């Protein structure tokens, strides 16, 4: 029944059926989240009911999108829970992470076999998010039970848990209909506070006050998501890789095509980031409290900083503005626990899959981050006055970051080594060699201090 409906919409709008499923369920999740907030409000509905509804709707979404493949996701989460309740808290986080990476790798290998080089939306998308959630719970439990309070960062203290969630709570967190298909992934403690209403009651110190309305943040992100969806619909012809790889193109035309290709191909991500933020805000999950001026803050489900990503002044700002919840997950479970930039980027590439484009792009992201830090250390203080010099420096930093971003995105999306090398050859490998040279040759802060 569901397939017939989605195929009808696919024919009606001339849009691939897998994307029709996602878009339809994204749009349905928005009003469903509002009903969860209003009809099943935490003040007169038990957490058990809210957990149950959230989990069942998410599983229904999974069945509608993936049919029998959803049972792989259920099995993946189930084994993650078994590890949580059987392994000692001193090691549970380590083996849960290993298990999660093996699980996502298996899914990616299946995708390589069945849809090599394709962009079909299948169960591996939600599986990537489940990796984050399974590991988040394991690390939070490890921090809450197996580590001394004094050894925890302020963030880890806020997010730690001292007991294992029930099976229902665990499934609700992993399969919540608001975040199941495309995220965002929030920490388990944040999700549990949303279910119980603690994210509101703690923000107001349990005082009787009017609950903030999500109307404005919800409408804002919804309208932005519809803008992104419009770009996807209008610019679908600009996603053909021949626009980048055609040997007859002159360099200016190839660069122009690259710019439009990147704008159109990242618009579906903008749509999914914004529409899921809309659903989370509509349900109340996005609320985090009040700022110093007493204004409401709705940023827990925020996954994209448009200004920072499109006009970032350096690679770090750009990187931290895209898929922010995944970047936060990487920081919390890798950077803050001793992993290097290279190690974290390798894991991030593994999390995405096994196409060469992922590993090349994330390696260049690491080199770009190193280059950005070195250039800032060497140049920033030299271009702060007069004012017009600072403005020119800021403009040049933004332009170079934009060019770096587009080169990375194309490498990521071309997937195969043949396509990547073809594209790089048309650019004479210049972006790659410039990035590599500056990362390896420019002196960094430590070397500069030693020379002094």
DSSP track, 255-301: HHHHHHHHHHHHHHHHHHHHHHHHHHHHHTTTEEEE-TTS-EEE-TT
Query: What range defines the domain where residue 274 resides?
Result: 224-451
Give the pLDDT confidence score for residue 244 in this predicted structure. Answer: 92
How confident is the model at residue 7, as a pLDDT?
A: 81
Q: Are residues 150 and 264 in the same domain?
A: no
The string of pLDDT tens digits covering residues 367-409 is 888 888 888 888 877 888 888 888 888 888 888 888 888 999 9
As a whole number, the mean pLDDT across the chain is: 89
- 9 part of a folded domain: no
Q: Give the model's confidence band at 35: pLDDT under 50 very low, under 70 low, under 90 confident, else very high.
A: very high
**Gap between the Cα atoms of 161 and 427, Å rounded:** 51
Q: Domain for residue 118, yes or no? A: yes
Nearest 5 degrees, angle CA 430-CA 321-CA 441?
35
CB-side exposure of 213: number of CA atoms within 13 Å?
A: 3
Among residues 150, 179, 196, the one where a domain terminates is: 196
Cβ atoms within 10 Å, residue 95: 13
Q: Give the pLDDT band (50/70/90) at residue 451.
A: very low
Q: Are residues 184 and 228 in the same domain?
A: no
Residue 78 located in a structural domain: yes
Same domain, 152 and 301: no
242 shares a domain with 132: no
For residues 213 and 20, what is the distance between their CA atoms, to the nearest angstrom? Answer: 30
Query: Model confidence over 262-320: pLDDT tens digits?
Result: 999 999 999 999 999 999 999 999 999 888 888 899 999 999 998 889 988 888 888 88
Q: Within a domain: residue 202?
A: no
Give me the mean pLDDT over the 329-351 stretch.
83
Q: In this predicted structure, what is the pLDDT of residue 196?
A: 95
Contacts of 232 (CB under 8 A, 6+ apart): 264, 267, 268, 271
Domain total of the chain: 2
The residues that bridge with 289 in the sheet, in sequence order, are 297
pLDDT band at 94 (very low <50, low <70, confident <90, very high): very high
Do residues 192 and 230 both lie within one domain? no
């Amino acid at each position: 029944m569901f397939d017939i409906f989605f195929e009808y919409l696919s024919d009606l709008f001339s849009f691939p059926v897998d994307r029709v499923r996602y878009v339809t369920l994204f749009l349905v999740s928005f009003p469903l989240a509002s009903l969860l907030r209003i009809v099943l409000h935490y003040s007169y509905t038990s957490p058990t009911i809210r957990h149950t509804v959230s989990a069942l709707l998410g599983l229904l979404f999974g069945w509608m999108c993936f049919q029998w493949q959803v049972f792989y996701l259920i099995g993946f989460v189930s084994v993650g829970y078994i590890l949580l309740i059987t392994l000692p808290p001193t090691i549970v986080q380590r083996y849960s992470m290993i298990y999660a990476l093996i699980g996502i790798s298996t899914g990616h290998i299946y995708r390589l076999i069945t849809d090599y080089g394709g962009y079909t939306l299948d169960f591996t998308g939600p599986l990537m998010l489940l990796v984050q959630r399974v590991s988040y719970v394991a690390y939070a439990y490890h921090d809450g039970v197996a580590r001394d309070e004094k050894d925890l960062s302020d963030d880890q203290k806020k997010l730690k848990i001292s007991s294992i969630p029930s099976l229902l709570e665990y499934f609700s967190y992993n399969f919540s209909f608001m975040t199941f298909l495309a995220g965002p992934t929030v920490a388990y403690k944040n999700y549990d506070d949303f279910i119980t209403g603690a994210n509101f009651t703690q923000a107001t110190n349990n005082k009787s006050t009017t609950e903030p309305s999500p109307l404005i943040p919800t409408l804002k992100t919804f309208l932005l998501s519809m803008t992104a969806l419009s770009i996807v619909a209008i610019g679908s012809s600009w996603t053909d890789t021949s626009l980048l790889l055609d040997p007859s193109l002159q360099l200016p035309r190839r660069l122009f095509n690259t710019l439009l290709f990147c704008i159109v191909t990242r618009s579906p991500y903008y749509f999914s980031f914004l529409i899921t933020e809309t659903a989370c805000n509509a349900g109340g999950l996005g609320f985090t409290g009040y700022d110093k001026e007493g204004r409401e803050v709705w940023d827990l489900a925020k996954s994209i900083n448009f200004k920072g990503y499109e006009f970032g002044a350096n690679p770090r700002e750009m990187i931290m503005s895209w898929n922010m919840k995944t970047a936060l997950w990487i920081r919390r479970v890798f950077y803050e626990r001793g992993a290097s930039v290279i190690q974290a980027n390798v894991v991030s590439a593994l999390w995405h899959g096994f196409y060469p484009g992922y590993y090349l792009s994330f390696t260049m992201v690491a080199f770009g981050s190193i280059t950005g830090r070195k250039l800032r250390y060497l140049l920033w203080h030299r271009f702060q006055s007069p004012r017009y010099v600072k403005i020119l420096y800021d403009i040049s930093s933004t332009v170079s970051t934009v060019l770096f971003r587009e080169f990375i995105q194309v490498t990521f999306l071309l997937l195969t080594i043949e396509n990547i090398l073809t594209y790089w050859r048309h650019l004479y490998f210049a972006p790659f060699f410039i990035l590599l040279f500056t990362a390896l040759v420019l002196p960094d802060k430590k070397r500069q201090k030693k020379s002094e």
